[in-house]
Amino acid sequence: MAPVKDELSTLQGQFLASLNHEIRTPLSGILGMTDLLLETPLSDEQKEYLDSVRLCAENLLDVFNATLEFSALSANRVVADEVEFPIRETLESALTEFAYQAQSKGLRLVRRFEDNLPETGIGDAARLRQLFTNILRNAIKFTNDGEIDVTASVARQSDGSVRLSIRVRDTGIGIPEEKVASIFDSFSQVEGGLSRSYNGLGLVLAVAKKLATLLHGEIAVESKPGQGSIFTIRIPLRTPAEPQSARFAEPATPIILVVDDDSVGQIVATRMLRRRMYQVECASSGLAAIEAAGKRKYDVIFMDLQMPGMDGFETASRIRQLPGHVNTPIVALTANCSAEYRETCLKRGMQGFLAKPVQSADLIQAVERFTSKCEVSPA
């Protein structure tokens, strides 16, 4: 029976990978193009229609993400990373991602980062961000007026590590006392009376609970009906060694190559990057990317992995063999956001990993991460 089980598991993985790509790619185009169009002059009626389009796409993406993530976490297929990452930037990017949703509902999104919050920590940035965004998403969904207040701070432990605390307070509908104990259970919303007024599978908080456990942390909630809720996340992080004093040099305008066989994906990424005055070029295939890299030294290459003919892995490998591109940062763009695939990307020479649909803030953060330069001052 074991060989049959292994074969079924392999087929399931292949199916989910294909499903990821086929759904996330068009959703990336819908969300990206909608955001670009919303920044152009529009009548009130046109803006209302576009807001509805974006909301529907976001709801579809939320359901899809929660289903896949819950499946992976339940099957213990997710392993936490241990890498140094910018704590403030990670939390800021999540808040930026949800600023538009909050604004569209007339909600104030308040940020309060304590002075003791360190710039960097060691842990799983992607999973921490996902946990935080799940709580933000839930708060915005169930709050119709008022505000979402986010506080972040750390408590230093005796072993030199820190315990990151993120508190998300909303002025939403609140949770009945008898429901608080089961709010992190799977499909809890469907089983309750809220399902008639609020869409979704009820998996967002269940995934958040599993993510907190994966990160060796905890999540708690306080709530009263009609008075809102307070979700508190506590996650342990290691702290990196104190860096030497450095003098930062002003970087030149980065030159970026976007490799994607999807023309809509090219347009979305290009417009997002050019807003920051970056120089951007595009390639629609692996061969075109290799040809472009043979003529110019790029500061960052965003590489779609699922391309026909030559995939992103082979393309990246061949670019590495070109003069001047041995150490060029190559960031994977992929619809497969599983932890295993992320690990595969890093093992095969990618310096970064972004899952589709890619947010503008994540693209910009990746460029800034790989193009910031510093000179160490002499001791």
Residue 319 lies in a domain: yes
91 in any annotated domain: yes
| Residues spanned by the domain of 321 | 246-376
User: In terms of domains, do 187 and 291 share one?
Assistant: no
Burial tier of 375 (Cβ tally within 10 Å: 0-12, 13-18, 19+): exposed
User: How high is the pLDDT of residue 12?
Assistant: 60
Domain count, the chain: 3
Residues 282 and 346 in one domain: yes
Please give the full DSSP string across 138-181, using - where no structure is assigned. Answer: HHHHT--SSEEEEEEEEEE-TTS-EEEEEEEEE-S----HHHHT
pLDDT of 136 reads: 92
Residues 89, 70 share a domain: no
Q: Would you write out the chain's pLDDT as a tens digit for each of its 379 residues? A: 555 555 555 566 566 666 666 777 788 888 888 888 888 899 989 988 888 888 788 778 777 776 767 666 666 666 677 888 888 888 888 888 788 788 888 999 999 998 888 888 898 888 898 899 889 988 998 999 999 999 999 998 777 788 999 999 999 999 888 888 788 875 555 344 444 444 444 678 888 888 899 899 999 999 989 889 999 999 999 888 644 444 444 456 789 999 998 888 888 888 888 888 889 999 999 999 999 999 989 999 999 988 888 999 999 999 999 988 888 999 998 877 666 677 788 888 788 888 887 877 788 888 888 886 433 333 3
Say if residue 45 is in the same domain as residue 99. no
Does 156 lie in the same domain as 34? Answer: no
State whether 181 and 98 are in the same domain.
yes
Q: Is 1 within a domain?
A: no
Is residue 363 assigned to a domain? yes
Spatial contact of 146 and 107, defined as CB atoms under 8 Å apart:
yes
- Does residue 25 form part of some domain? yes
Within this chain, do residues 118 and 215 fall inside the same structural domain, yes or no?
Answer: yes
**Conformation bin of residue 228: beta by default, left when phi > 0, alpha when psi is -120 to 50:** left
Assigned domain for 342 exists: yes
CB 335 within 8 A of CB 23: yes
Report pLDDT for 80: 73
Are 269 and 194 in the same domain? no
Q: Is residue 320 in a domain?
A: yes
Q: Are 39 and 108 in the same domain?
A: no
- The verdict on residue 4 lying in a domain is no
Distance CA 201, CA 63 (A): 7
> What's 205's domain CATH number?
3.30.565.10
End-to-end CA distance of the chain: 64
